[in-house]
Chain A
Amino acid sequence: MKVVKGTDWFKNTFDEYYEFIRNYLYYLSGDIELAEDLTQDVFMKTWQLKDKINDETLKPLLFKIARNLFLNTRKRKKLDLKFVNTNVQRSENESPEYLLEMKEFDWRLQKALSALPEQCRTIFLLNRIDDMKYQEIADHFGVSIKAVEKQMSKALKLLREKFDYKM
């Protein structure tokens, strides 16, 4: 029997995945305005397709739609991630020298993350910022855990190269 999905299903899907998809699009684009805009499009598309969607493949489908919409956007500007650094916000009682050093390190890290290759960057950030397990990431992207591990190692290696010698 065909199950017709309604507003409740859609709202639950939205609540569950909104941040993941928005963050993923941010990791791809480095542009929060574009990321939020495209996230709307992802869910509009999901609404249109809802009766054809198999719940078991919903997560990878959302990521796939997000990536396709991103690839079809107008020519993108150079990626420049600007995460909100809550450590800096929490350290207001620290000395100005410490804060300055922290901000400098933060700036270098955001640059280094922006420079990571796309797949490596998105996988690394989904794991570190969204706390996604390797298995979850593998499921979302339709790749093996081995492939996720490989991208994670690559990200760590590239970051290590940048930071080990420049501290």
Chain B
Amino acid sequence: MHSAMNKVEQTLQGYAVPSLQTRDQAWEMLEHKIQRNDYRVKTRVARLNGFVGFASAAAVFFAILYLGMFSTGKYSPEISAGIARVETVELPDGSQVWLNSNSNLKYHVNKFTGERNIVLDGDALFDVEKGGKFLVNFSGGTVKVKGTEFYVSAYTADMIQVDCIDGLVEVSLNGSEYRLGKNTGIKMYRGSVSKPYAVSASEVNERLDGIFYWNSVTLQEVFDRIGYRFGYSIHPDASLLRRNFSGRLELNDLQECLMVVSTAMRMDYTINEENKQITFHAN
């Protein structure tokens, strides 16, 4: 063996995993937890019930189970994240996807070219392993990368947002091409494409916790986001659409976020559960 590798092996022999507590301390803590029976499965949305953990595991399981589909040229079955839930999906190339609330995804890997094709309907954060082309297709556009971290929100062609957290992202929106560098985003809302804006990784990560920030956007845009995220159609009074909204909203609980936004914007709302409709009135 080469002397450099001998040195690697020798150094490795001296390595130990650091520890903050001994095994006995860990056992004591565990016993205490069992007695208190305070266990809660950790998920990205801790407030939700234990099904989330199971569903996440199931999503990953399906991702692995359908490995065989790559050679047939077919897409994987659709993986879905329920309302206000986040599913973690590991793609066969090691890329990670965090699928946000009320979103669906399917994928296909070309075994000859290594090209990875994703079809997204909704919101997701991608952490892409280096490799062949990685394409995210959605209604109204495409994102093309090789290995990077980025966020796509595309519930509909009317409201698309792409934020690049790391690396370089090529975005195609309505036939026009845009290149986004690190910490830059672009938005297309109802046919109008914004100028690239600055975005931080923490802001994007917070979206997976259901926290969204707006800076002087129309109420219509906020309504649209709430509607897509929770799966409702929203019908506001026309006069409300002229109002602007700035601020932070937590969109994990429908009633709670409707209460906050309606109080802040001096509105009333009614929900029709049967038709999945929310109506807003100025007060």
Give chain A's interface residues, CB within 8 Å of chain B. Answer: 11, 14-15, 18-19, 22-23, 26, 32-33, 35-36, 38-41, 43-45, 47-48, 68-69, 71-75, 82-88, 90, 102, 105-106, 109, 117-119, 128-129, 156, 159-160, 163-164, 167
Contact = CB atoms under 8 A, between A and B. Distances in A.
B264 interface: no
Interface in B1-32: 2-5, 7-21, 23, 26-27, 29-30
A75 B97 CA distance: 11
Interface stretch (B41-49, B104-112, B113-121, B186-194): B41-49
A18 to B, nearest CB: 5
A73 B98 CA distance: 11
Chain A interface secondary structure, helix, strand, loop or mixed?
helix
Nearest to A35: B17
A129 B44 contact: no
Contact of B17 (A23, A40, A160): A23
Given A41-B41, A45-B39, 5 more contacts: A14-B30, A19-B17, A84-B16, A87-B11, A102-B11
19 contacts: A15-B27, A36-B19, A36-B20, A40-B29, A41-B42, A44-B33, A44-B39, A45-B41, A68-B60, A71-B56, A72-B43, A74-B209, A83-B16, A85-B11, A86-B15, A128-B12, A129-B15, A129-B16, A163-B7
A130 to B, nearest CB: 9
Given A72-B44, A159-B8, A164-B5, A44 B14 contact: no
Given A11-B27, A75-B98, A22 B43 contact: no
B56 A72 contact: yes
Contact of B8 (A26, A35, A48, A109): A109
A159 B14 contact: no
A26 B13 CA distance: 17
B60 A36 contact: no
B7 A40 contact: no
Q: In the A-B complex, list the 8 residue pairs whose CB atoms are closest, starting with the nearest.
A: A87-B14, A83-B15, A163-B4, A86-B14, A44-B39, A84-B16, A71-B88, A167-B4
B34 A44 contact: yes
B193 to A, nearest CB: 27
A118 B4 contact: no
Given A72-B42, A72-B56, A83-B17, A40 B3 contact: no
B262 interface: no
Given A43-B30, A72-B88, A87-B10, A22 B56 contact: no
Contacts of A117: 94, 129
Contacts of A45: 39, 41
Question: Which interface residue of B4, B20, B94, B208 has the most chain A CB atoms within 10 A?
Answer: B4
B42 A69 contact: yes
A73 B42 contact: yes
A90 B11 CA distance: 12
A103 to B, nearest CB: 11
A40 B13 CA distance: 27
Contacts of B53: 68-69, 72
Nearest to B9: A128
B3 A167 contact: yes
A27 to B, nearest CB: 8
Contacts of B23: 14-15, 18-19
Interface in B32-91: 33-34, 39, 41-44, 53, 56-57, 60, 88, 90
B125 interface: yes
A84 B30 contact: no
B139 interface: no
Nearest to B15: A83
Contacts of B56: 68, 71-72
B19 A40 contact: no
B218 interface: no
Contacts of A119: 94
B17 A32 contact: yes
A164 B215 CA distance: 52
B18 A32 contact: yes
